[in-house]
Amino acid sequence: MTFDQLGLSEPLLQAITAAGYTEPTPIQSQAIPSVLSMNDVTGIAQTGTGKTAAFVLPMIDRLASGRSRARMPRSLVIAPTRELAAQVAENFEKYGVNHKLTMALLIGGVSFGDQDKALMQGVDVLIATPGRLIDQFERGKLLLTGVEMLVIDEADRMLDMGFIPDIERICKLLPPRRQTLLFSATMPPEIAKLAAQFQNDPKRIEASRPAQTADTISQYVVQLKSNDHKARRTALRRVIESCDVKNGIVFCNRKTEVDIVAKSLTKHGQDAAPIHGDLPQSYRTQTLEKFRSGDLKLLVASDVAARGLDIPDVGHVFNYSPPPNSDDYVHRIGRTGRAGRSGESFTLVCPEDEKLWDAVKKRVQKEIEVYTLDGLDDEIAELQPPSRSSSRSRSGRSDRSTNNNKRGNSEQTKSNRSRKSDDRQGDFLPPAPSGPVVGLGDHVPAFLQKSV
Ligand code: AMP
């Protein structure tokens, strides 16, 4: 199939050729004709499938005729994160070069002043995160009664982020006669309910089975015996050092972990930077740009920050721990192995992660190879604080002489010799206390010893 069979206009076809695309992806060839014929569409598609163009291209043609009015956008795209919203805006700019559509981006972290000005001038396309959209509506800067097309992008992520009530509220502010497109990587019941409530007989399009991992990704698990974060950070470094990493994303479950891991990697000589929702927008944009252009090797990210980011050709994905939601595992490792390229993913699994890891294995339905690093167990054992009954020396190694070289039990094991260095200066746990432990006993304060 070619783009000119989809019913798109000539100026748009020229923009597509200029973007270098020769044929539509499956989600594009299915969605574009439906959107052009004004149907509602429910698209089940992960990022990387070309789903953004699947709605941006036909929207541009749909909006080509008609005029915008002050404060009354003609179409609305709601995205869960600022980065994803900015990415949709980039797509509009790229494909809309031959059209004269106006656009505004309403995201947090950008001054209200510029956004107010754009809204006052009237826009054809408004791209927004839910919170900022509601803020602007409540400030009286926006009327949603002129919206002819609504796109809810990454709906399952909206659910995870607690945005569904906001989405419901926004939908109720829109005119009932409109076209609604909803895209989601998975279709949990809450999203199916949202679709049923706000879409009219939608055409359901599935680009690939939900939660499927690409065969181009070699997946490995690194099993650790300790739950200690210092051990995790050491293991992460060793894994990174053992691979030939051109660029990669390290995923963490918490924003605080993102900061700590990025700092630790940097201290140990890796080129790494954090990205998560609490960082200033300018820093996030700059970091992403550096990563995209190849000036930054490792992006340490939270799921929310990384979701939907269009970063082509990532060679490696490292999971600092398995994600709380097994769908996110698919999203995370889907950052590599794109467009037929090969990629590798490594997941650190500590004893406390076993439940999460079981859920991931159940979800991907694939054998995940065990990855061992010679000497890692020894090194981690060395990091453990000494027990009180033994000597306080950090170099006491008597009880762990046998666990070097334990490799997973089968030919399903990938092994790799790590360079063993002893530079641990970047770790963050405070040193073990050295003086006597003070508790109650001789130290019970007098007022506590008074009889009642
Ligand atoms: P998305 O799934 O929208 O995040 O898109 C993933 C990547 O695919 C982006 O880098 C797009 O620029 C690219 N892309 C979109 N459509 C096509 C196409 N028809 N052919 C090749 N690449 C595409």
pLDDT at 187 over 70: yes
Which pLDDT tens digit goes with each residue over 398-419? 333 333 333 343 334 555 433 3
What pLDDT, on a 0 to 100 scale, did the predictor assign at position 296? 96
Query: Residue 295: CB partners within 8 Å, gap ≥ 6?
Result: none
Tell how strand 103-106 and strand 248-252 pair up.
unpaired
Say yes or no to pLDDT of 306 above 60: yes
Q: How many angstroms separate the alpha carbon of residue 50 from the centre of ligand 1? A: 4
In the chain, what are the domains? 3-206 (3.40.50.300), 217-383 (3.40.50.300)
Confidence class of residue 173 from pLDDT cuts 50, 70 and 90? very high
50 lines ligand 1 (CB under 6 A): yes
Question: 89: which residues sit within 8 A by CB, 6+ positions away?
Answer: 103, 105, 127
Average pLDDT, integer, range 99-105: 94
78, burial (CB in 10 Å: exposed 0-12, middle 13-18, buried 19+): buried
Q: What gap in Å lies between CA 269 and CA 262, rounded to an integer? A: 11
The confidence score (pLDDT) of residue 376 equals 86
205 alpha carbon, distance to own chain's centre:
23
Higher pLDDT, 405 or 69: 69
Q: Whose CA is nearest to atom 8 of ligand 1?
A: 50
For residue range 252-285, list pLDDT tens digits in order: 999 999 999 999 999 999 999 999 878 887 888 8
CA terminus-to-terminus distance, the chain: 88
Mean local confidence (pLDDT), 114-135: 93
The ligand 1 atom nearest the CA atom of 23:
19
Which atom number of ligand 1 is nearest to the Cα of residue 47?
2
- Residue 91 · residue 56 · CB < 8 Å: yes
Residue 452's pLDDT band, with cuts at 50, 70 and 90, is: low
Q: Ligand 1 in contact with 312 (CB < 6 A)?
A: yes
Query: From CA 59, how far away is CA 437, in angstroms rounded?
Result: 68
What pLDDT score was predicted for residue 199? 95
**Helix residue spans in 150-279 (DSSP H):** 155-160, 164-173, 189-198, 229-242, 255-267
Confirm or reject: Cβ of 24 under 6 Å from ligand 1: yes
Give the number of other CB atoms < 10 A from CB of residue 239: 24
Q: For residue 72, name the pLDDT band (cuts at 50, 70, 90).
A: very high
Question: How far, in Å, is the centroid of ligand 1 from the Cα of 351?
Answer: 39
Instruction: Pick from 25, 81, 90, 92 the residue to mutate for probing ligand 1's pocket: most ligand atoms within 8 Å of its CB.
Output: 25
- Residue 392's pLDDT is 32
Q: What is the reported pLDDT for 220?
A: 96
Specify the pLDDT at position 380: 84
* Helix (H) or strand (E) run with residue 349 in it: strand 343-349
Residue 193 confidence (pLDDT) above 90: yes
> How many angstroms does the Cα of residue 384 sit away from the middle of ligand 1?
46
| Secondary structure (H, E, C), 19-59 | HCCCCCCHHHHHHHHHHHCCCCEEEECCCCCCHHHHHHHHH
CA dist 255 and 347 (Å) reads: 18
| Closest ligand 1 atom to 16 CA | 19
Q: Which of 2-11, 44-53, 320-329 has the lowest mean pLDDT?
A: 44-53
Q: Among the listed ranges 164-168, 173-177, 199-203, 439-443, which one has the minimum average pLDDT value?
A: 439-443
CA 12 to chain centre: 30
pLDDT at 427 over 50: no
Neighbours of 400 (CB within 10 A): 14
- 307 φ, ψ (degrees, to nearest 5): -60, 125
Ligand 1 pocket test: pick from 310, 330, 336 the residue with the most ligand atoms within 8 Å of its Cβ: 310
According to the model, what pLDDT value does residue 400 have? 30
Mean pLDDT of the chain: 83
Query: pLDDT band at residue 363, thresholds of 50, 70 and 90?
Result: confident
Q: From ligand 1's centre to the CA of 423, what distance in Å? A: 42
Q: What is the DSSP letter of 3?
A: G
- pLDDT bin (cut points 50, 70, 90) of residue 206 is confident
Q: Phi first, then psi: what are they for 247, rounded to 5°? A: -155, 155
Residue 383 has pLDDT above 60, yes or no: yes
Say yes or no to pLDDT of 436 above 80: no
> Per mean pLDDT, which range of 81-85, 172-176, 375-379 is the poorest?
375-379
Q: Please state the pTM of the whole predicted model.
A: 0.61
